[in-house]
Amino acid sequence: MKKEEKRKKKRENIIKKLAKGATHATTDFFGITTKKTKSRFVYKESKFYGIVLFYIFISIISCLILAPFAYYKVCELRYNHTYINNKKIVFRGRVYGAYYQFTLGLILVVIILFFISILKQYFLNDILANLRVEIQNLINSLIAAAPTMVITGVLINRLFVWSIRNIFIVSDDQISSYLKVSYLKLSIIKAILTAVLRKIASLVTFGFGEPLLLVIKERYIVSRQYISEKKLYFDGSIFDSYKWFLWRYFLTLATLGLYYPIYLYKQYQWITMHTYFDDGTKHRKRILI
């Protein structure tokens, strides 16, 4: 009887903590503590690692033919295990939707690359001839990297905007919840430009500017994001971002990218932990640092 009473008390305390949105810290293998808050991404790290590696592998083997399917499955995995303000999120996208957005993205990539080649041929060559050798080399390297940046920027953002439109809150009245629209109040062009500029800044800083760029990007995009017509806000800081980033960045480099799925897992966890529904009340001061 005493054991049963203790178990009941433990359950009651857990429910009270969740209701208040209390935080409690957990420590990972490297001794870095992460706080579990109202908003969280809950999934087993080892499973996530295996699944992401598998989908990266099949995407490469199929020459990106299965990339939309892989993105769809990762979205399903991510959003179906996400809680924002203790409210469960569900992903209701379909595979054909991912392929449709991927195809449109490829058409857009071809058009952009065509215009870049014309600009280089008729305008940039004359301008570069009058510049110093060092500046010429820098601009040429950026032009050489442009196709990959454009491809990743366009395709990922097309799929990202599609995934946002298919996220809903799970509530008691599920029908009314699904009737409410989810959307991103940001144009595709702006989303693509932010992604490309982030890639350029990340390359210039050799990856060390990634936490700063991540915080700026999340604050810019999350503040324009609506799930079931509820606005979100992001309160992550650069200091917190660097705390979890540095270890994982060096581990990703040391393992030649094998640690990347865990890096992605921790990134999802950290972003979700600092994402909330904007209920119109005054939030704690949103300091960038």
Tell me the whole-structure pTM to 2 decimals: 0.73
Q: Percentage of residues in the chain with pLDDT exceeding 90?
A: 7
CA triple 210-211-217, angle to 5 deg: 85
DSSP string for residues in 93-135: --HHHHHHHHHHHHHHHHHHHHHHHHHIIIIIHHHHHTS-HHH
Average pLDDT for residues 196-206, to the nearest whole number?
76
- In the block, tokens 């490469």 appear at 60
Which pLDDT does position 19 carry in this prediction? 43
Which contacts (CB < 8 Å, 24+ apart) does range 51-56 have? 51/77, 52/261, 52/264, 52/265, 53/261, 56/261
Q: What is the mean pLDDT of the chain?
A: 75
Q: Is 213's pLDDT higher than 90?
A: no
CA distance to 151, 161, 194, 203, per residue, from 113 (Å): 9, 22, 18, 20
Tens digits of residue pLDDT in 43-99 = 888 888 889 889 989 999 998 899 999 999 999 998 988 988 888 888 888 999 999
Q: What are residue 184's DSSP bridge partners?
A: 225
More confident residue, 27 or 58: 58
Q: Which amino acid type is present at position 209?
A: G
Model confidence at 22, pLDDT cuts 50, 70, 90, reads very low
Which pLDDT does position 197 carry in this prediction? 76
CA–CA dist 167, 79 (Å, integer):
7
CA distance to 116, 149, 201, 211, per residue, from 198 (Å): 19, 10, 5, 11
Q: Is 13's pLDDT higher than 70?
A: no
Burial profile 204-222: b = 16 or more Cβ within 10 angstroms, e = fewer: eeeeeebbbbbbbbbbebb
Tens digits of residue pLDDT in 276-289 = 888 665 444 444 44
Average pLDDT for residues 25-53, to the nearest whole number?
67
